[in-house]
Amino acid sequence: MLIQFNFKNFKSFRDEATLDLSATKMTEFSDRVVTVGSEKILPVAAIYGANASGKSSVYSAFEYMSEYVVNSFKYGDEEEEFDQYRPLPFLFDSLSENTESSFEVYFTIPEEKSEKSYNYGFRVGKEGITEEWLNTKAKTARKYSSVFYRSEDTLELTGLPKNSRDNIAIALEKQVLVVSLGAKLKIAKCKAIRDWFLANEFADFGDVVTNFFLSRRLPKGFIENKTVQKRVVEYFASFDENIKDFRVEKVPDEGESKEERYKINALHKKIDSEEMAEIPLGLESAGTLKMFALYPELQEVLKKGSVFFIDELNARLHPLLVRNFLLTFLNPKINVNHAQLVFTTHDTWQLSNQLLRRDEIWFTEKNDQGISTVYSLADFVDADGARIRKDESYEKNYLIGKYGAIPTLKSIKIFRED
> How does pLDDT run along the chain (418 residues), one tens digit per residue?
999 999 999 999 999 999 999 999 998 999 999 999 999 999 999 999 999 999 999 999 999 999 999 999 988 765 567 888 999 999 999 999 999 999 999 999 998 999 999 999 999 999 999 999 999 999 999 999 999 999 999 999 999 999 999 999 999 999 999 999 999 999 999 999 999 999 999 998 877 666 666 666 778 888 888 898 899 899 888 887 888 998 888 887 766 666 777 888 989 988 888 889 999 888 888 888 888 888 989 999 999 999 999 999 998 888 888 999 999 999 999 999 999 999 999 999 999 999 999 999 999 999 999 999 999 999 998 878 889 999 999 999 999 999 999 888 777 777 777 6
Output the pLDDT for position 309. Answer: 97
The residues facing 201 across adjacent strands are 308
Q: If DSSP codes are grouped into helix, strand and coil, which group holds residue 40?
A: strand
Euclidean distance between CA atoms 21 and 133, whole angstroms: 21
Residues in CB range of 231: below 8 A, 6 or more apart: none
Output the pLDDT for position 256. Answer: 63
Q: Which amino acid is at 37?
A: G
Output the pLDDT for position 410. Answer: 75
Output the pLDDT for position 209. Answer: 62
User: Would you say 15 and 117 are in contact if contact means Cβ atoms under 8 Å apart?
Assistant: no
What does the chain come to in residues? Answer: 418
The 3-state secondary structure of 201-247 reads: EEEECCCHHHHHHHCCCCCCCCCCCHHHHHHHHHHHHCCCCCEEEEE
User: Would you say 26 and 359 are in contact if contact means Cβ atoms under 8 Å apart?
Assistant: yes
Strands 101-107, 2-8: pairing is antiparallel
Strands 201-204, 307-311: pairing is parallel
User: Would you say 225 and 324 are in contact if contact means Cβ atoms under 8 Å apart?
Assistant: no
Q: Which amino acid is at 19?
A: L
What 252-260 contacts at long range (C-beta under 8 Å, 24+ apart), as own/partner pairs, is none
Let me know if domain 2-200+306-399 sits in CATH 1.10.150. no
Output the pLDDT for position 77. Answer: 65
Helix extents (H) in 72-154: 94-97
Nearest to 18 by CA among 1, 3, 33, 34: 3
CATH 3.40.50 segments of the chain: 2-200+306-399
User: Would you say 174 and 127 are in contact if contact means Cβ atoms under 8 Å apart?
Assistant: yes
Output the pLDDT for position 277. Answer: 92
Euclidean distance between CA atoms 138 and 115, whole angstroms: 7
For residue 282, count other CB atoms closer than 10 A to its CB: 12
Tell me how far apart the terminal alpha carbons of the chain are, to the nearest angstrom: 59
User: Would you say 344 and 310 are in contact if contact means Cβ atoms under 8 Å apart?
Assistant: yes
